[in-house]
C-alpha cells in the first residue's frame, strides 16, 4: 500500500509501528531517524528500520507515510523540521497521548500543509521503552483515537483509518478537547498517582523494606510508574489543566473515603468500595465504545 | 501430615488453601464452614471441602489444623466461637491482611489457648472473590508473613512454617506493628487509591464515556479496585491509622508533583518521574527480602 515509511522517533511506539506495518505488508521500506544516532543505528541492526536518515527532514524525503513518534513536546519542532517536504499526498500521523497541544503544534508548524496531518492516539503502551522492546503486536486489538482538524484532508483521514484497521485496531474519532478530557481521567491521572505513590514510599526511611514485601496487587498497580520519564513529563505538562482538574476530583473522593474511615462509618465505607468494585468488575477494555465514523 | 483441616470461611483465600493442602498431600480431610450455607454447599460440590459443618465450632471438632479465612473484623467472633475446642496440639492460622488487630482479637478471644494461634498473611490475592475462583496455585511462589506473639507455641509456629513452605511459599516473620506499617504503604494504600479513582471517574457525568476509552494501563492500575468490598472495608478500618498516615504522605508527594506541573518546572517534573520510573523498573516482587528466621 505504501512505498516508504518515514519514521521519526525509533522508540517503543515508533519501532512497533514500523514492525507492524512491515508484518502487515503495508510498506516496502522504512527510513528512520532518531535524535540519538545510536538509537537509529540500533533500530537498523534490529531490522526495525531499513535505512538510517541523518535528519528528520531526510527521513521524510520520498516517504508517502510519516509517523512522528516523539515525546509530545517535541512535536512542533519535528513538524517544522520536515515541513518543506510535506505534500498533500503524504499521510503524517503522530502517536501522542495528548491531542489539543499536538493539534495546535501541527497548525503552527505545518501551516498550509496541515491537511496532511492526522492526529492519532493508539491506546497502548508498555512499562518499558526503547527500540529493543519494539513489538509488531503492540497495536493489535487496541483502540486508536483520531482527532482530525477542519483542514484535515479527507483522503489522508481515510488512509489513516485504513492503516490502523489493517493493523488490527478499532478506530474512532473525537475532538482533541474531548480526547484530552477523557485521557486525563483514565490514563494521565493513573500515571500521576502511580508516580506519586512510588515516590511517597521511597521517600520514607523504611521504603526499601516496605517495597520488599509488596505483592501482585502492588506490581500491577505500579506497572505504569515505570513508564518513560520524558514521554510522561511532556504528557503531564501538555494536558496539565485537565489533569489537575481530575486530580482535584480524585483527592476529594479520596478524602470522602478517608472521612468514612475516620468516623468508623462501616456501611458508608462498604458502599463506596462496593461502587468501585462493581464498576471495575463490569468494565471491559474497549468493550463499550463503538466507532462513530467521521 | 494433618488428619483434618477445619476451614472457616470458604472464599477465595480459604478455598484455595484447602485445595493447595489437598494437592500437596498435607491433609486427609477438609471440614468447612461458611457464614452462608449456600457457599459451604458450593464448596463441597466443587470438591474444595469434603464435609460441610453447620457451625464454626463443628468445623473445628476433630481438626488438627484450622484456617480462619474471614474478613478481619470477623476474626474475634470466629475465634470466640471455636475457643472451647481449641487445644495446644492444634495449629490455628488466619490469612488476614492486617495483623495488629488480629493479634489483639486472638488474645481476647482465645485467652489461655492463644498459643495455638499463628497469625499469617500470605501475600497473594485476586480481583475476584468466592469459592468458584479457589485455585490450588494461589499461594505458590508467594511470600507469607507470620507475626507470632510472645505466647505463640514454638511447635505450632514451626508447623506453620512447614505448611507454608510445603505450599511453595517463602516464609518470614515480623511484628504485627511492622507488618501493618509496611502493608499500609504497599497494599492498603494502593487499594484505597484504586477505589477512590474508580469512584472519582464514575462520579462524573462523562464517566462512562471516559471508561470506554481506557486501555491496558488503566486495566492493570485498577485491577485491585475490583477486590471484595467486605474484606477491604475491614482492612481499611483495621489498619486505619497507618493507612491514613500513608495517605497523607502520598497526598503531599502528589501535591509536590502538581506544583512542578503548575510552575511548568520541566526538569523537576522529569526528575520526579525518573525517580519513580527507575525505582519501579528495578523492583522485583519478593526479590529483596530474605527470611530473618524467628
- Please, what is the average pLDDT of chain A? 95
pLDDT at B292: 41
Alpha carbons A114 and A86: distance in angstroms, whole number: 9
Asked if A286's CB is within 8 angstroms of B225's CB, the reply is no
Cβ of B186 within 8 Å of Cβ of A215? The answer is: yes
The pLDDT value given to residue B294? 34
Nearest to A213 among B183, B214, B222 (CB): B183
Chain B residues lying within 8 Å of A194, measured CB to CB: 221, 276, 280
CA B87, CA B83: separation in Å to the nearest integer?
A: 9
Q: Give the C-alpha separation, B147 to B178, whole Å.
A: 9
Q: Is residue B24 over pLDDT 70?
A: yes
Mean pLDDT computed over B144-167 = 98
Closest in B201, B202, B253 to A199, CB measured: B253
Give CA–CA dist B136/B47, Å, rounded: 12
- Are A250 and B200 a contacting pair at CB < 8 A? yes
Q: How confident is the model over A35-64, as a mean pLDDT?
A: 97
pLDDT above 90 for A258: yes
Cα–Cα distance measured from residue B223 to residue A221, given in angstroms and rounded to the nearest whole number: 7
Chain B residues closer than 8 Å to A264 by CB: 237
Task: Please state, rounded to an integer, the average pLDDT across all residues of chain B.
Answer: 95
Of B94, B76, B183, the residue nearest B146 (C-alpha) = B94
Q: Cell numbers of B201, please? A: 471517574
Query: How confident is the model over B220-275, as pLDDT tens digits?
Result: 999 999 999 999 999 999 999 999 999 999 999 999 999 999 999 999 999 999 99
| Residue from A233, A230, A241, A220 nearest A192 by CA | A233
Q: What is the pLDDT of residues B35-69, one digit of tens each?
A: 999 999 999 999 999 999 999 999 999 999 999 99
pLDDT of residue A293: 36
Greater model confidence, A127 or A5: A5
Nearest CA in chain A to B232: A273
d(CA B261, CA A214) in angstroms, rounded, equals: 29
| Domains, chain B | 2-174 (3.40.50.720), 179-282 (1.10.3660.10)
The whole-number pLDDT of residue A89 equals 96
Residue B63 main-chain phi, psi, to 5 deg:
-85, 145
Instruction: Summarize the confidence of residues A231-258 as an average pLDDT.
Output: 97
| ipTM of predicted assembly, 2 dp | 0.91
CB contacts of B287 in chain A (<8 Å) are 212
At B88-117, the pLDDT tens digits run 999 999 999 999 999 999 999 999 999 999
Of B189, B199, B237, the CB nearest to A272: B199
pLDDT of residue B286 exceeding 90: no
Q: Counting one residue from A and one from B, how many pairs have CB atoms under 8 Å apart?
A: 312
Is it the case that residue A294 has pLDDT exceeding 70? Answer: no
A29, A35, A36, A37 alpha-carbon torsion, rounded to 10°: 50
* Location of C-alpha cell 495455638: B116
pLDDT at A292 over 60: no
> Does B135 have pLDDT greater than 70?
yes
Q: SS in 3 state form for chain A?
A: CEEEEEEECCCHHHHHHHHHHHHCCCEEEEEEECCCHHHHHHHHHCCCCCEECCCHHHHHCCCCEEEECCCHHHHHHHHHHHHHHCCCCCEEEECCCCCHHHHHHHHHHHHHHHHHEECEEECCCCCCCCHHHCCCCCCCCCEEEECCCCCCCHHHHHHHHHHHHHCCCEEEECCHHHHHHHHHHHHHHHHHHHHHHHHHHHCCCCHHHHHHCCCHHHHHHCHHHHCCHHHHHHHHHHCHHHHHHHHHHHHHHHHHHHHHHHHCCHHHHHHHHHHHHHHHHHCCCCCCCCCCCC
Q: What is the pLDDT of residue A125?
A: 85
What's the gap in Å between the CA of A99 and the closest CA on chain B?
Answer: 14
DSSP assignment letter at B187: I
Share of chain A above pLDDT 70, in %: 98
* A216 pLDDT higher than 90: yes
Q: Is the pLDDT of residue B74 over 50?
A: yes
Per-residue confidence (pLDDT) for residue B290, from 0 to 100 = 46
Statement: residue A132 has pLDDT above 70:
yes
Nearest by CB to B266, from A237, A244, A252: name it.
A237
Q: Do A189 and B197 touch (CB under 8 A)?
A: yes
Amino acid at each position: 500500500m505504501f512505498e516508504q515509511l518515514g519514521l521519526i522517533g525509533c522508540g517503543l511506539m515508533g519501532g512497533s509501528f514500523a514492525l507492524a506495518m512491515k508484518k502487515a505488508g503495508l510498506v516496502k521500506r522504512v527510513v528512520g531517524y532518531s535524535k540519538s544516532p545510536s538509537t537509529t543505528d540500533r533500530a537498523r541492526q534490529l531490522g526495525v528500520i531499513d535505512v538510517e536518515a541523518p535528519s528528520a527532514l531526510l527521513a521524510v524525503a520520498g516517504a508517502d507515510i510519516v509517523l512522528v513518534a516523539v515525546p509530545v513536546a517535541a512535536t512542533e519542532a519535528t513538524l517544522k523540521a520536515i515541513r518543506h517536504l510535506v505534500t498533500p499526498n503524504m499521510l503524517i500521523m503522530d502517536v501522542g497521548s495528548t491531542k489539543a497541544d499536538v493539534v495546535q503544534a501541527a497548525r503552527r508548524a505545518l501551516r498550509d500543509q496541515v491537511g496532511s496531518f492526522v492526529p492519532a492516539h493508539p491506546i497502548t503502551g508498555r512499562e518499558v521503552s526503547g527500540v529493543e522492546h519494539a513489538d509488531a503486536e503492540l497495536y493489535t486489538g487496541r483502540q486508536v483515537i483520531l482527532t482530525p482538524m477542519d483542514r484535515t484532508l479527507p483522503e489522508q483521514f481515510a488512509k489513516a483509518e485504513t492503516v490502523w484497521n489493517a493493523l488490527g485496531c478499532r478506530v474512532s474519532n473525537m475532538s482533541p478537547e474531548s480526547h484530552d478530557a477523557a485521557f486525563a481521567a483514565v490514563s494521565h491521572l493513573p500515571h500521576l498517582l502511580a508516580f506519586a505513590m512510588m515516590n511517597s514510599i521511597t521517600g520514607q526511611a523504611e521504603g526499601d523494606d516496605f517495597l520488599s514485601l509488596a505483592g501482585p496487587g502492588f506490581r500491577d498497580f505500579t506497572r505504569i510508574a515505570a513508564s518513560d520519564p520524558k514521554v510522561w513529563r511532556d504528557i503531564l505538562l501538555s494536558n496539565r489543566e485537565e489533569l489537575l482538574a481530575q486530580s482535584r476530583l480524585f483527592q476529594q473522593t479520596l478524602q470522602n473515603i478517608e472521612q468514612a474511615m475516620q468516623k468508623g462509618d462501616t456501611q458508608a465505607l462498604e458502599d463506596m468500595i462496593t461502587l468501585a468494585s462493581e464498576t471495575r468488575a463490569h468494565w471491559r477494555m474497549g468493550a463499550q465504545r463503538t466507532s462513530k465514523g467521521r
